[in-house]
Amino acid sequence: MVIYIDVLLFVNAIVNYAILMTAEKLLKRDIRLYRMILGSVIGALFSLTIFIQPDSRILLCALKLLTSLIITLIVFGWRSRREFFRSFLCNVTVSVIYCGAYILFYQLFKPPNMVIVNDVLYLQVNPLWLTALTAVIYIIVLIIYKLFSERIKSTVVHLNFTLHKKTYSCIGKVDTGCNLKEPFSSASVIIVDAAVYDTKTEEHFRIIPYSTINGSSYLNAVKADTVHIDKKRISEPIYIATGNINNADYQAIINSEIIR
């Protein structure tokens, strides 16, 4: 088969964009479009390894690892070592799923205009068909993930809240043991790390008493203008309190009643 470089790059740019978009959903991240496009282009450039001799396994593995690390850094950024490894592992896992799906499609239907060399896909086909096939895989992956996540009751969410027309974002953990309420209105309270937002800057705040096994104390809290959890707006009033979370995986503790 004659391989056209422009078709090769286009096909793999589309596939890589779908992979990154899937990883973005699984990681519950909100990635800027230019980062996604840049990551897709770099992934497409890796497809040029289709011209490397298949017996050069060490070189191919090194290039795959380096490309995956670069794409993860560009698209998902660096928050911490643990968060970067999590993003990298998710990106690689999704890539393997897509690659396996295309190989299965190839084995089942043996399309004469499709070839997979060095785990790189080349498909000389109408772009609409390619987009449709990629979209089907994307939807299937998300459906499987949603069914799986519903069963394990994932508690990590993406939190956005607005105070004084300024928006703050962080990763939050839904905690069934957290039932803090503002005592006068009975509104739910979200505790955020002081590094995200510090209520000490507020002139007017509410006192939120709480008790733990170590004793009783209180938090300062202010009413949020808006709150979004996983991009879904919370209609009920929410108070934001400041605490010391000290956890690399999340920066907020969310009352579980908010998302019921």
Evaluate if residue 150 carries a pLDDT over 60.
no
Residue 188 and residue 140: Cα distance in Å, rounded?
Answer: 36
Nearest to 249 by CA among 154, 180, 141: 154
Q: Residue 106: what residue type?
A: Y
Nearest to 182 by CA among 165, 207, 146, 214: 207
Share of the chain above pLDDT 70, in %: 84
Q: How many CB atoms lie within 10 A of CB 222?
A: 19
Phi, psi at 214, each rounded to 5°: -90, 0
Place of tokens 């790189």: 120
pLDDT of 104: 80
Predicted confidence (pLDDT) per residue in 29-49, tens digit: 778 889 999 999 998 888 887
Predicted confidence (pLDDT) per residue in 68-98, tens digit: 899 999 999 887 888 889 899 988 998 888 8
Q: Residue 89: what residue type?
A: L
Are the C-beta atoms of residues 92 and 71 closer than 8 Å to each other?
Answer: no
Structure tokens at 73: 């850094």
